[in-house]
Amino acid sequence: MISMWKLYCWKFSILFLSVLALVTSAKNAGNPANEIVDYINKNRTANKLPKLYDSPGLGCMALQYISECMGNCSSNNSLSCHPPEVDITEVYAANCGVELPTVDIISGHLVGCQWKYLNPEQALSEVLIPDEKRLSLLHSKEHTEVGVGFNRAHHGPSFWCILFSSGKTSSTFVLEGGRGIKQRNGCFSGTDLPCSAGRKLLFLADLKPVVFSMLLYLIVGM
Ligand SMILES: *[C@@H]1O[C@H](CO)[C@@H](O)[C@H](O)[C@H]1NC(C)=O
Ligand SMILES: *[C@@H]1O[C@H](CO)[C@@H](O)[C@H](O)[C@H]1NC(C)=O
Ligand SMILES: *[C@@H]1O[C@H](CO)[C@@H](O)[C@H](O)[C@H]1NC(C)=O
């Protein structure tokens, strides 16, 4: 009887651990926009420039920018998408639930698309920063904060947008109620919300703990 209970305890702990592994792996692999911000800051600090503050409000606005471009990626991966500049601070901020008086200056933006799957590091170097001109924008001393948006069209290309601002980091692009307005697709930096367009990434990462726990069940003897 006691050994029976021991076995149940074992099985329960394994189940608990695998659920935990599943949740944590989903969190880490779920947001490529955060990874791009990490690479941006690594690149800036390697070039003796200050890190940029990772602003969720700006990130959400970057995701909004992409939503206007989803139909405009050509077969050669060039993006022809030129929404009016004022839309960034007027339309996108409102659609994100950024408190309008906290909207500050946009000191630069970078957008790009690609039909092939790219990891965040490749996306940054191959799509967003392919030349010296855009590298100098990344290295501008004017910027103080950054936000990145990522989205993928269904069976279509991926889109990335980086927004830079020269605003005061602690008081700008504030999201109403801390979270702002929930976005239906894609993901943005500055939050741990997973990416709804990053299913491919998420799914692959999720399989590891599943296989692992299945093996454990076999060993313990289900
Ligand atoms: C890519 O395609 C667009 C239109 O489809 C064209 O205007 C542009 O010149 C092309 N770019 C390159 C690098 O081939
Ligand atoms: C997307 O492409 C269409 C067709 O070329 C163009 O009319 C439209 O303005 C583009 N959208 C943006 C936001 O630039
Ligand atoms: C990072 O900065 C260096 C210049 O120091 C540049 O050559 C490189 O391409 C940058 N990497 C990315 C991913 O932008």
Report the pLDDT value the prediction gives residue 194, as an integer from 0 to 100.
85
The continuous run of DSSP H or E covering 46 comes out as helix 32-46
Q: What angle, 0 to 180 degrees and rounded to 10, lies between the N-to-C axes of helices 199-220 and 2-29?
A: 160
Strand partners, 187: 150
- Measured from the Cβ of residue 43, the count of other Cβ atoms closer than 10 Å reads 16
33, with CB counted inside 10 A (0-12, 13-18, 19+), is: buried
CATH class of 32-197: alpha beta
Ligand nearest to the CA of 88: 2
Whether 162 lines ligand 2, by a CB cut-off of 6 Å, is no
Per residue in 72-107, pLDDT tens? Answer: 999 999 999 999 999 999 999 999 999 999 999 999
DSSP state, residue 176: G
Whether 196 lines ligand 3, by a CB cut-off of 6 Å, is no
Distance, in Å, from the CA atom of 30 to the CA atom of 32, rounded to the nearest integer, reads 7
Whether 128 lines ligand 3, by a CB cut-off of 6 Å, is no
Domain boundaries, the chain: 1-30+198-222, 32-197
Which amino acid makes up residue 211? V
Q: By three-state DSSP, how is residue 161 classified?
A: strand
Among residues 181, 164, 180, the alpha carbon closest in space to that of 41 is found at 164
Print burial letters for 103-136: b (CB count within 10 Å at least 16), e (below 16): bbebbbbbbbbbeeebebeebbeebbbeeeebee
Distance, in Å, from the CA atom of 144 to the CA atom of 167, rounded to the nearest integer, reads 6
Candidate of 70, 72, 159 to mutate for ligand 2, largest count of ligand atoms within 8 Å of Cβ: 72
The model carries a pTM of: 0.78
Q: Which atom of ligand 1 is nearest to 77's Cα? A: 1
What does pLDDT average to over the chain? 85
Per residue in 104-144, pLDDT tens? Answer: 999 999 999 999 999 999 999 999 999 999 999 999 999 99
Whether 136 lines ligand 3, by a CB cut-off of 6 Å, is no
Cβ(39)–Cβ(124) below 8 Å? yes
Contact partners, residue 26, CB within 8 Å, separation at least 6 = 194, 202, 205, 206
Distance, in Å, from the CA atom of 132 to the CA atom of 158, rounded to the nearest integer, reads 23
Distance 191 CA to ligand 1 centre (A): 35
